[in-house]
Amino acid sequence: MAKFTFTLNGAPAAVDVDPSTPLLWVLRDNLGLTGTKFGCGAALCGACTVHVNGEAVRSCAYTIDSVQSAKVTTIEGLSKDGTSKLQRAWIAHQVPQCGYCQPGFIMAAAALLAKKPKPTEADVEGSITNICRCGTYARIKQAIARAAR
């Protein structure tokens, strides 16, 4: 076990866990933030996407020892009440079906828009590589385009 401190959604956070613990389980089990989901466990599907120092990372394969002193943002920290421009666009296009993968998609899209406020279609296709088994991709593209307007 070891102590780790970092900034979580703008507030200080501290945990005492095994250094090899994936960030995903620290967020969910130790800190109770269950908006970030477990999908494949192998960084293939993106359901666990969060931001570490502004970069979208797949937290199931990102150990806590890489997070020491970092700035972590989860879906809970994207806005206080779920009304960020991106989340409003998501609602306007009625994107989710089962919804399980959607926090990961929104975090991946938020990281993209933070870097490229007006992404091209190629930018979106190149950076949103998450998997949605309900197949909501067409609406995800529309929602990102709307948020970028």
Partner 1 sequence: MAFADCFGSYLCQIVELSMIDAAVKLHRVVSVCDPGRVLDRVNATSMIEGGVMWGLSTALYSAVRFRNGHTQERNFDGYRVATLPDTPELITDFLENRVKLGGLGEVGPVCVPAALVNALFAATGKRHRRLPLAREGVFTVYGKLYS
Helices (H), 7-136: 23-25, 85-92, 102-115, 121-127
**Could you give phi then psi for residue 22, rounded to 5 degrees?**
-60, 140
For partner 1, the binding residues in 86-105 under the rule CB under 8 A are 94, 97
The stretch among 49-57, 68-76, 83-91, 124-132 that binds partner 1 (CB under 8 A) is 124-132
125 binds partner 1 (CB under 8 A): yes
| Sole binder of partner 1 in the list 57, 78, 140, 147 (CB under 8 A) | 140
Distance CA 66, CA 90 (A): 31
* 127 touches 120 (CB < 8 A): no
The stretch among 14-22, 30-38, 56-64, 138-146 that binds partner 1 (CB under 8 A) is 138-146
Distance of CA 28 to the CA centre of its chain: 13
Q: How far is the CB of 71 from partner 1 (least distance, A)?
A: 27
What residue ranges bind partner 1 (CB under 8 A)?
Answer: 40-42, 44-45, 94, 97, 124-126, 128-141
